[in-house]
Amino acid sequence: MLLVTAAASPARADEEPIKVGILHSLTGTMAISETSLRDVALMTIDEINAEGGVLGRQLEAVVIDPASDWDLFAESARELLLDHEVDVVFGCWTSVSRKAVLPVFEQHNGLLFYPVQYEGEEQSPNIFYTGATPIQQLIPGAAYLMSEDGGGFEKFYLLGTDYVFPRTANAILRAYLISEGVPEENIREEYTPFGHADYQSIVGRIRELARDGNTAVLSTINGDSNVPFYREFANQGLDPFEVPIMAFSVSEEELRAMEAESLVGHLAAWNYFQSVDTPENEEFVQKFRDYAQANNLPGGSSRVVNDPMEGTYFGLKVYAAAVEAAGTTDVDAVREAVLGMEFDAPGGPKKMHAENMHTWKPVYIGEILADGQFEIIWESDGLVEPESFSSYLQDE
C-alpha cells in the first residue's frame, strides 16, 4: 500500500493545514480509471492553495493507494481518518470499494466525496455523491437507444463486470426495459470478473443475438477489461452503427489506452464530456494539461479529462466553499453548508440536492470519434434530479 503526503504551501505556525485524504487505486486493474482522479485532485488542491487556501489555511493531501484490492479500502479509510486525522476524503471508484469504506465513515463521522456514477440504492449522511444516479445516466442511455433518433433498438445485451454496480444497474435497466415493453426474451445478461481478457465467446453470443438486427449492448464493464472487449468486438466485425455499445464506464480516459479509430460510432452516457463547448470548460481542460506537463505526468500536455475528474474537481471546490461558509471543518457543519449549494462547474451550473446528498446534473449521450473524444449527440433539457433509490426497483 503506497502512502504519499503531498506538501502543502507554507502556513503560519498557528495554522494547521486542512488535511484532504485521497483514496484511489493507482495500481491494479482500476488504475486505468482512478489515477487521473488522484491527479486532478492534487491539481485542484494546488489551485485552492494558490488562491489563499480555506479559512486562511492551506490544504494538505494525504494519498493512499489501495491497489485495486477491495479488502484494503476499509483499512485505508480507517488509516486516513484515525492515523492521519484527515478532515475529508475524496475517493473510491467501484461500488464495492465505496461500500467497503461506508461503515468506516459512518462509525467515525468522516466525510467522503464520491465522484463516480453508480447504481444508487444508497444514501449516507457521510457521503456526498457527485456522480450520477441511474436516472441520470443508465435510464437516459437506454431510452436513447430505443428512441427513433437512437436507432429504435428492440434487443439488448446487458454485459458487466461481476460486482455490485453492474448487477444492480442491470436489475434497474431490465426493469426499465420491461416497463417500456421489451420482452424478457429480448434481454440477455452476462458478467465477467475484474481483469477479464477473453471476450471471444461473449462477443460471439452478441453476434448471435444480433443476427436478425435491432440489437444494442448496454455495457457496465469496468477497468482495463474494456480494452480486450472492444478489441474483440472489432475483430469479429460487429459494426458500431448496427450493433452499438452504450457504455456507462468508458470515458475519454479509458479511450487513451484503446485504439479509438476502431471504436468510432460506439456510444457512452455521462454528465460531462471534455467536448462540452464553453470557455469555462476550455479553461479547465487547458489547466489540467498544463498541470500534467509541469508535473511530468504520463501524457503531459495531451492529457484528457472526463466526467469523474470533473466530479472530483467541483467536489473539492464545493467542499472548500462549504468550509468557508461554515467557518469550520466540522463534518456536521460542513454537511449543512453543502446541502442545496448551487455552483458553476467546468461543464456548466450544477447544484447539490437539498436533502439526499446527491447532485443535480445534466445528461449527455456522446459518440466516440477517431481522436478519442466524444461528439455530444443528445443532451437533457436542463439538470436532472438525482434519485437515491430507483423508482424502477421500488415498483417491483
Confirm if 367 and 375 have CB atoms less than 8 A apart.
yes
Instruction: Please tell me the distance from the alpha carbon of residue 182 to that of residue 153, in angstroms, as a whole number.
Output: 10
**389-392, Cβ contacts within 8 angstroms, sequence gap of 24 or more:** 389/120, 389/121, 389/123, 390/120, 390/121, 390/133, 390/134, 390/135, 390/172, 390/175, 391/135, 392/134, 392/139, 392/172, 392/175, 392/176, 392/179
pLDDT of residue 103: 98
CA dihedral 301, 275, 48, 341 (to 10 degrees): -170
Q: How far apart are CA 40 and CA 257, in angstroms?
A: 18
Distance CA 281, CA 283 (A): 5
Q: In 320-360, where do the E strands start and end?
A: 342-345, 348-352, 359-360
> How much is the pLDDT for 9?
42
Whole-number pLDDT of residue 261: 87
Instruction: Please give the pLDDT value at position 15.
Output: 80
Domains of the chain: 2-132+276-360 (3.40.50.2300), 135-275+363-394 (3.40.50.2300)
Burial of 10 (0-12, 13-18, 19+ CB in 10 A): exposed
CB half-sphere exposure, 126, CA atoms < 13 A = 19
- Among 94, 282, 270, smallest CA distance to 195 is for 94
Task: For residue range 246-269, list pLDDT tens digits in order.
Answer: 999 999 999 988 988 889 999 999
Q: Return the bridge partners of 62, or none.
A: 5, 21
Residue stretches of the chain with pLDDT short of 50? 1-14
